[in-house]
Amino acid sequence: MLEKTGAIAAHLMKDRFLDSLDLERERGITIKLKAIRLPYKAADGQTYSFNLIDTPGHIDFSYEVSRSLAACEGALLLVDAAQGIQAQTISNAYKAVKQGLFLIPVINKIDLPEADLQRCANQLVAQLGFKKDQILYVSGKTGEGVDQLMEEIVRRIPAPAVCGNQLQALVFDSFYDQHRGVVAMVRLMGGRALPGDKIQLLAAGAVTQIIEAGAIIGGMHSLNSLEAGEVGYLVTGLKDLTQVTVGDTVIHQEHPVSALPGYAPVKPMVFAGFYSTDQNQYLLLGDALDKFKLQDASLTFSKESSLGLGRGYRCGFLGTLHLAIVKERLEREYDLDILLSAPSVNYQVINSKGEREMINRPQSLPSNFQKILEPWILGEISVPEKYMGEVMKLCDNFRGQLMDIVYPSDTNTLRQLLLVYELPLNEMLFGFHSRLESVSSGYGSFDYQLDGYRESDIVRLDILVHKELVEPLSQLVWKEKAEKIGREMLLKLKELLPRYQFAVSLQAVVGANVVAREDIPAVRKDVTAKLYGGDRSRKDKLLEKQKKGKAKMRQFGQIAIDSEVFYQVLSLHD
């Protein structure tokens, strides 16, 4: 579409143009929503403006999807011709329908040798209720069917609705420019925005002046104004990053109007501590998180400290992939070296007084409590039938409970089925997604939603090195897996820690019970090597002196654990 509309100059055009992040290109996924405007001259002779937002599809970036849907009138539902409908495809389709969007089903990558168009069309009809004559077939690589798709966008998707003559704009994204302050990406629901206008952001109460208004057309393109129904950007000049929040409403200060509905508050699912390997970078890490939150509103964070790692931030994420992406982007884009504490989820703890409290750090677990409730999810796994046995075995290993199996129709040639499972969210932290891809040869997809809390036998697993607690390695785990997880961590520590001149004990402890133990033997120094002959008592005196020295070292010796050791041990289950 970029090529056919000429929105991007030919010499600037490249594959995956909107996936501008290195991580997106390396991983082959869309991480960050991107807005762009395309001019399209239709068959009726008129020129239309397509305000498009390219969004991720993975469940861990669902907040990006919800923000995009709120700014649009319609959506193209893309289905891979080789892989068919995935679990998140269904989830995102329902979100779009709930938002009241007009959907156009599109089967993409029809040029692939393994493309099965009939199967994909049958899935769209059976699972999402489309009619076969509504489905379009395109190839983003060869351009086949793209002209027809753009004509159908004009025909099927209505022009943006206008809500009054006064400025009312929804902030659906933002980023920070060090020279011009916060830049807000907006969808104008009503009125118009011009450079020089005095505006107010209702939620924060911030008042500022528009420095520049424009649209993304291959880059930031300044315009004389933004009109109702258009998607574009406003350069605010604000330097306080907390004054612009995703979901806020922009209005003219002299013409106040009501706030737009905005977005539902984000609910983090996974938590981890972010620490800098150099404590002198603590303030830089905080500044980087503030700026990053402008781009990723689903990230939450607050200050915390650890005995082993120093000062850092407790961060909340929508999933383990979201966690990994945020860490890697912060390191690349802000030149930081970040160390993670063990990931965790939110647990409900009923203390000795019968009061209920939420915790997501092992250190927050009260010494006396009545019971712990852990979060469970309702997950849907879409997978070809031939992989069903391996996937069910995998879910059983992760404490899953099978709720339903939706078998494919007879017309589904690849026999894609849907497994519905209840699973504890904590188990998702230990490599579930990567193992699902492995056992399904990459054809399995997973989508889930929180399904409440259930009482469970959760314990705090501590790691002791030379009888000293290593706080960053503490985890909340299911009691029956505590020994297995503890032993794996100790074996990794034994492999990574250097040997000393005294024996070092490694212990995995639950309460007062040692559930696993490993020992790092002492480095033996031959103190008698310098002796040549003589009385035996000379050798015995040296060995006795060495024995006393080792006993003293065992008592007072300090074990230094490098930050890289923490990282490798905590990455054990990735």
Q: How many CB atoms lie within 10 A of CB 561?
A: 17
| 255 vs 526: CA distance, rounded Å | 87
In the chain, which segments carry CATH 3.30.70.2570? 460-570
Percent of the chain beyond pLDDT 70? 90
In angstroms, rounded to a whole number, what is the distance separating the alpha carbons of residues 449 and 182? 33
pLDDT, position 57: 76
Percentage of the chain lying above the pLDDT 90 cut: 31
For the chain, how many residues are written?
A: 574
Residue type at 461 in one-letter notation: L
Query: Which residues is 123 bridged to in the sheet?
Result: none
Which residues lie below 8 Å from residue 173, measured CB to CB, with a gap of 6+? Answer: 33, 35, 67, 184, 185, 246, 295
Strand partners, 185: 173, 233
pLDDT at 93: 86
Per-residue pLDDT at 144: 93
In this structure, what DSSP letter does residue 407 have? Answer: P
- Please, where in the chain does CATH 3.40.50.300 lie? 2-156
**Minimum mean pLDDT range among 99-113, 257-271, 529-543:** 529-543
Confidence (pLDDT) at 574: 44
The pLDDT mean for the chain works out to 84
Give the closest residue to 447 by CA, choosing from 469, 466, 432.
Answer: 432
Better-scored residue on pLDDT, 330 or 533: 330
How many whole angstroms separate alpha carbon 79 and alpha carbon 115?
11
Among all chains, which residue has been given the structure tokens 């997501």? 360
Instruction: Report residue 428: phi and psi, to 5°.
Output: -70, -15
Higher pLDDT, 125 or 558: 125
CATH architecture of the domain formed by 2-156: 3-Layer(aba) Sandwich (3.40)
What string of DSSP letters covers 458-498? EEEEEEEETTEE-GGG-EEEEHHHHHHHHHHHHHHHHHHSP
In words, the CATH class of domain 168-252 is mainly beta
Q: How confident is the model at residue 543 (pLDDT cuts 50, 70, 90)?
A: low
Structure tokens at 268: 């983090």
What would the two tokens of residue 57 be? 């599809």
d(CA 110, CA 513): 59
Question: Is the per-residue pLDDT at 557 higher than 50?
Answer: no
**Where do the CATH 2.40.30.10 domains begin and end in the chain?**
168-252
Q: How far is CA 220 from the centre of its chain?
A: 27
Determine the CATH number of domain 351-456: 3.30.70.240
| Predicted TM-score (pTM) of this structure | 0.74
Nearest to 232 by CA among 41, 2, 51: 51
Tell me the C-alpha distance between 458 and 344, whole Å: 12
User: Is 189's pLDDT higher than 70?
Assistant: yes
Give the pLDDT confidence score for residue 553 in this predicted structure: 45
Distance CA 445, CA 437 (A): 8
Tokens for 279, please give them.
Answer: 């404590």
Q: What is the 3-state secondary structure (H, E, C) of 248-304?
A: CEEEECCCCCCCCCCCCCCCCCEEEEEEECCHHHHHHHHHHHHHHHHHCCCCEEEEE
Residues 34-61 have pLDDT tens digits of: 888 889 999 999 999 998 888 887 777 8
Kindly give the pairing relationship between strand 136-137 and strand 102-108.
parallel
DSSP string of 336-383, one letter each residue? --EEEPPPB--EEEEETTS-EEEE-SGGGS-SSEEEEEEEEEEEEEEE
The DSSP string of 309-324 is TEEEEEEEESSHHHHH
Higher pLDDT, 14 or 175: 175
Instruction: Place 474 in a pLDDT band, splitting at 50, 70 and 90.
Output: confident
Nearest to 226 by CA among 251, 194, 254: 194
Lowest average pLDDT, out of 11-25, 121-135, 311-325, goes to 11-25
Q: Is the pLDDT of residue 532 over 80?
A: no
Confidence band of 354 (pLDDT split at 50, 70, 90):
confident
User: CA 392 from chain center: how many Å?
Assistant: 25
CATH superfamily, region 270-343? Elongation Factor G (Translational Gtpase), domain 3 (3.30.70.870)
For the chain, give every residue range classified as CATH 3.30.70.240: 351-456
pLDDT tens column, 240-283: 888 888 888 999 988 888 888 877 777 788 888 898 878 888 99
Q: 460-570 has which fold?
A: Alpha-Beta Plaits (3.30.70)
Model confidence pLDDT, tens digit, residues 408-455: 655 444 457 889 999 998 888 777 877 887 888 777 778 888 889 999
DSSP string, 538-571: HHHHHHHHHHHHHHHHHHH------HHHHHHHHT
Buried b vs exposed e over 410-439: b needs ≥16 C-beta within 10 Å? Answer: eebebebbbbebbbbbbbbbbebbebbeeb
Whether the CA torsion 418, 423, 425, 427 is positive or negative: it is: negative
Other Cβ atoms closer than 10 A to 440: 21
Could you report the per-residue pLDDT of 296-351, keeping only the tens digit for each?
888 899 998 876 678 899 999 988 888 888 998 999 889 998 888 878 888 999 98
Between CA 379 and CA 87 the distance in angstroms is: 9
Flag whether pLDDT at 573 surpasses 80. Answer: no
